[in-house]
Amino acid sequence: MIDLTSGGIFAAMLGDDSLEIRHAIRDHTMSGHPEFCSYSPHRSNYWRNRYISMLKELTGFTAVSLFSTGAEATEAFWRCCRVFSGKPGIWGGLIDPDEVGDAHPKSDSMHGVTLGSLIMAGKMSWQELGYFPELGENRFGRADTVTGGMIMEPYHAPSAQFHRIDPTINRIASLQKEFPDIPLCLDEIQGGFGRTGKLWAHQHYPDGLLKPDFITIGKLCGGGLPLSALLGPKEIMESDSVKQFAHLHATHSGNPLMCAVGCTVIEEMQKQRLIERSAKLGREMHEKLKELPVRVHGKGLLAGIELTDNEEVKKVVGLSLKRGIQVCDTGRKWVKIGPALNIEEGKLMEGIKILMEVVGEVVHERKSTPYGPSCEEPENSDSHLLPAGIQGDRAGDDQSGETPGSEGKYN
């Protein structure tokens, strides 16, 4: 089986049966610091301290709080902002980039599946906690006077499509200038740690356009094991009020075994130059995927293949499994792939070849929809594949530069 999903959830940076991760667990057990549990606020922890030091050096952030899941990290950001500013609200819930300009676009973000993370993503609301707004399209749920922070993913999670620079990213940049006291958190849990060919996915936007005050990480940073973190400024995260009331810890925060693995992940990422490798193999992968008769989104070793609906996606997933490759069913109209960053080039290209054959077969099975009496294309046609001058507001993966690194009709 060729795994194009890094263990199924884009998390196993070194593969889902990594010798390096096994050795990290063994070395932790055999070392002079073989702890398995440490309640971080009250107990010294060699591995936690080492991992935090490595994270600070790698990322440049001055404060780190460790957790087990991505949802914990994103909610920790909200707690920091609520406590530090005294303002309960949060701005979040970016929309599908293809809904920019629609009359009633829906929030379509992903920050986890706990109550707070779902509210931040715009998938649930709770007025007392600060009703979610949408950062794009001039829509706000609460005024800036009661908003403590704003959060976004660097790209639309289900499709791997980067957001429109105009208006979405420009709008967020303008909000940062207008409200400098409202910190911005970039959720890099899926896109960070080299997944897109850069350390952070947001670095694909023009330099300096997005300036995160906080970043959340998870998935790849644990090599497939449960490890996540909130990275931010010391003056907020280590302030007296945040230390006392924001609860930036839990039973397994800074778990020694997980931190030992996290140290190995950083070491191997640098030793094997996996970020550069993701960029190189990603360019080759996307160059091949351009041959598909459908839209393909993403950067580096991340791609979202856009089909008509989830029924087509299920067909692709099923046929792929029968032919020995694993891809991701998003529950929507996109098939996503995100292989381990150290995947063998031959295996990657073999997997891509099989996937392209499967997608081609499924697309070929589509029943053609006859045009109406006016001979105009139906709304669900492939008009989104036309050049930018014809697409109008739905462009963004064209040659106009509305999305980072766009080339031709593919994003």
pLDDT tens-digit profile of 32-78?
A: 777 777 665 667 788 999 999 999 999 999 999 999 999 999 999 99
- Rounded Cα distance between 223 and 266, Å, is 9
In this prediction the pTM is 0.86
Find out whether 302 and 335 touch, Cβ atoms under 8 Å: no
Which three-class secondary structure state does DSSP give residue 187? strand
Kindly provide the residue ranges of all beta strands, DSSP E only, lying in 310-411, ordered along the sequence.
325-326, 328-329, 334-337
The domain at 18-271 falls in which architecture? Answer: 3-Layer(aba) Sandwich (3.40)
Cα 360 from chain centroid (whole Å): 27
Residue spans per domain, the chain: 18-271, 274-365+383-394
Mean per-residue pLDDT for 230-249?
95
Q: Phi and psi (nearest 5°) for 408?
A: 60, -140
Judge if 18-271 and 274-365+383-394 fold alike in CATH terms: no
pLDDT given at position 126? 63
Q: What fold characterizes domain 274-365+383-394?
A: Aspartate Aminotransferase, domain 1 (3.90.1150)
pLDDT given at position 261? 95
pLDDT given at position 407? 36
pLDDT given at position 346? 97
Q: Cis ω on the peptide bond leading into residue 97 (within 30° of 0)?
A: no
pLDDT digits (tens, 9 = 90+) for 125-160: 665 444 445 555 455 456 888 889 999 999 999 999
Q: Residue 312: pLDDT above 50?
A: yes
Find out whether 151 and 91 touch, Cβ atoms under 8 Å: yes
Question: Whose CA is closest to 153, among 103, 88, 219?
Answer: 219
Residues ≥6 apart with Cβ < 8 Å to 176: 182, 184, 211
From 55-59, 112-116, 214-218, the region with the lowest mean pLDDT? 112-116
Residue 107 pLDDT grade (very low, low, confident, very high; cuts 50, 70, 90): confident
Q: Phi and psi (nearest 5°) for 334?
A: -115, 135
Mean per-residue pLDDT for 75-87?
95
The residue whose two tokens read 């054959």 is 357
Mean per-residue pLDDT for 97-114?
90
403 vs 213, more confident: 213
Q: Residue 19: pLDDT above 60?
A: yes
From residue 233, give the alpha-carbon distance in Å to each of 65, 239, 251, 366.
Answer: 11, 10, 23, 52
pLDDT given at position 251? 85
pLDDT digits (tens, 9 = 90+) for 247-300: 998 888 889 999 999 999 999 999 999 999 999 999 999 999 999 999 999 999
Q: Phi and psi (nearest 5°) for 258?
A: -65, -40
- Rounded Cα distance between 204 and 210, Å, is 10
Determine the straight-line distance between the first and last CA of the chain, rounded to whole angstroms: 28
